[in-house]
Amino acid sequence: MSDIGTSMQAGLLTAARSIGIQQRPIPEPGPGEVRLKMKLVGICGSDVSIFQGHRPDLKFPLIIGHEGIGYVDKLGDGVSHLQPGERVVIEPNYPCGHCDYCWQGRGNICINKRIIGVLETGCFAEYAVISANFAWRIPDTISDEDAVVIEPTAVALHTLYSSPARPGDTIAVVGLGAIGLLVTHLAQKMGYTVLAYDRVQEKVNLASSYGAIPISADATTALIAAIWKGANVHTVFECAGAAPAFTLSVEAAPRGAYVVVAGLSDKPSAITEFGMTRQGINIITSIIYQHPVDFRRTIGLIETGFIQPGRIISARESFSNLPSAIEVACAGQHAKIVLTL
């Protein structure tokens, strides 16, 4: 392999709302690891949350970012199932495989879980080092645009499968960011009827183009409740990550419905037990995905052409524009911004 020098460009978060492109040493892979030369990275809602200072427990400086694809550049000791030059996507959450939760098949809530871009160095950089066991080879038939959103698509797939709703049922999606749009896309393709709502009309229009039944951004909670009841909504998926969205989802849910909470609001919601319990509303939480099954399923669905998740990409920017791109992402108008390295 040719000499690549000793330094790289990386997006370094030094404090809340302070991120810049800096020169950092190129990392070396350790045993069981691989180094990737990154090609595309996506800005996730959790990246925005970290940037805005909603995770005061994190240590700065930190290279954030966890959605990305790249080419295997160097192998660490003991890695034999990957080869330099192969295109891979990062699975950024590493369950330990040994705790009680992992043994229960609930690695998504593993107490020892490693998370790149959050608890350790991420992939907003020219090169990234990851565990080889969490680097997924991308079939040649999958485009870069579909590949870079495999990780959030796995989140959406897990979210959809967290509900007892099945194809043929009617569901509602509240919050049409990346996860909400991907839940909509997956569900519509699988044979669910999907009612889509967001406070941004452009996002509602986008969900409608996926085949969803749109609910106007101006609709009141009472109107949404009436629409959902009339449509016999089985499950409501709260994907907004905002306290008012959870309140709306529970208050407007039809009697006996399920509410799957995929959003990650850190603010309290205005929900009373009396109304929720009397109506028989069932609350289910969903976070990330199960390793390895959800990534495998997601890649398979894309490889066959069943879904085209790259459709959610709403803007592409050069990696050098990371600081301005993440500020734009904070406004919440884009479904997915992808950076090209």
26 and 146 share one domain: yes
> Which CATH number is 54's domain given?
3.90.180.10
73 and 17 share one domain: yes
Could you say which residues of the chain have pLDDT below 50? 1-2
196 and 94 share one domain: no
Q: What is the pLDDT of residues 287-325, one digit of tens each?
A: 999 999 999 999 999 999 999 999 999 999 999 999 999
Whether 158 maps to a domain, the answer reads: no
Task: Give yes or no for a contact between 217 and 204, defined as CB atoms under 8 angstroms apart.
Answer: yes
CA distance 265 to 198: 16
Task: Give yes or no for a contact between 149 and 143, defined as CB atoms under 8 angstroms apart.
Answer: no
Q: How far is residue 20 from each of residues 67, 318, 327, measured CA to CA in Å?
A: 18, 13, 12
Whether 72 maps to a domain, the answer reads: yes
- For residue 219, give its domain range: 163-285
- What torsion do the CA atoms of 186, 189, 192, 195 make, to the nearest 10 degrees? 70
Burial class (CB in 10 A: 0-12, 13-18, 19+), 44: buried
What is the per-residue pLDDT for 3?
58
Domain boundary among 285, 307, 329: 285
Whether 186 maps to a domain, the answer reads: yes
Per the listing, tokens 């990371």 go with 322
CB atoms within 10 A of CB 82: 16
173 and 85 share one domain: no
192 and 206 share one domain: yes
Task: Give yes or no for a contact between 135 and 87, defined as CB atoms under 8 angstroms apart.
Answer: no
CA distance 58 to 51: 11
48 and 194 share one domain: no
Domain boundary among 250, 267, 285: 285
Domain boundary among 253, 268, 285: 285
CA distance 151 to 112: 20
213 and 239 share one domain: yes
Ramachandran angles phi, psi of 244, nearest 5°? -60, -30
Q: What is the pLDDT of residues 76-102, one digit of tens each?
A: 999 999 999 999 999 999 999 999 999
Count of structural domains within the chain:
2
Which helix (H) or strand (E) segment holds residue 152: the answer is helix 150-161
CA distance 134 to 215: 39
The model carries a pTM of 0.97
Whether 33 maps to a domain, the answer reads: yes
> Which CATH number is 167's domain given?
3.40.50.720
Whether 53 maps to a domain, the answer reads: yes
CA distance 243 to 265: 6
Whether 1 maps to a domain, the answer reads: no
Which helix (H) or strand (E) segment holds residue 283: the answer is strand 282-285
CA distance 19 to 61: 9
269 and 307 share one domain: no
What is the per-residue pLDDT for 56?
85
Task: Give yes or no for a contact between 228 and 253, defined as CB atoms under 8 angstroms apart.
Answer: yes
Torsional sign, CA 239, 240, 245, 246: positive
11 and 146 share one domain: yes
199 and 320 share one domain: no
User: From the DSSP assignment, how many helices (H) and strands (E) are in the chain?
Assistant: 11, 18
293 and 275 share one domain: no
Ramachandran angles phi, psi of 145, nearest 5°? -65, -40
246 and 308 share one domain: no
Peptide bond into 61 cis (omega under 30): yes
Whether 241 maps to a domain, the answer reads: yes
Task: Give yes or no for a contact between 45 and 241, defined as CB atoms under 8 angstroms apart.
Answer: yes
Whether 332 maps to a domain, the answer reads: yes
